[in-house]
Amino acid sequence: MRMTERVKEIIEMNTTNHCIPLISMGPGGVRVFPMYFARIINERLLAMPATAGTDIDKALAHTSPAMVLVTDRAGGYEAYVLEGNAQYVTDKADFELVAAMRNMVPGFPIHGAVVFEVKKVHLAPPP
């Protein structure tokens, strides 16, 4: 399954009312990072502003397998698991992306961005 308009709509809802859990499965072990903001770049890419205070820069220093969970709680619990790869990007690597992330959340100490490449999308069963 690919990232459909419904999945994109739920991603946007989650950044408005909730957070999006980003689960990193890198060499340092499994880590969970709550992402409060996200921008859909295209059908396969999400960009999320990040601060280095959580060590996300170390956990995602190299491209690592990751998952994102998005849910529509108000709509009867429709949930999707997005599988793919994530990497932390600094302004030295992509100044325009990090600048856009800083503009997205003024007032937050944004040190970089997490770029999440979606490989698979699965409908998740309710709890």
Domain count, the chain: 1
Residues in the chain: 127
- Distance of CA 77 to CAs 15, 16, 40, 102, 124, Å? 16, 16, 22, 31, 9
Looking at residue 32, what is its pLDDT?
95
Looking up residue 64, the CATH number of its domain turns out to be: 2.30.110.10
Percent of the chain surpassing pLDDT 70: 98
Looking at residue 37, what is its pLDDT?
92
Short-list 2, 127, 32, CA closest to 71: 127
Looking at residue 2, what is its pLDDT?
66
pLDDT in tens, 67-110: 999 998 887 888 999 999 999 999 889 999 999 999 998 888 99
Calculate mean pLDDT across residues 17-44. Answer: 90
The domain in which residue 11 lies consists of: 5-124
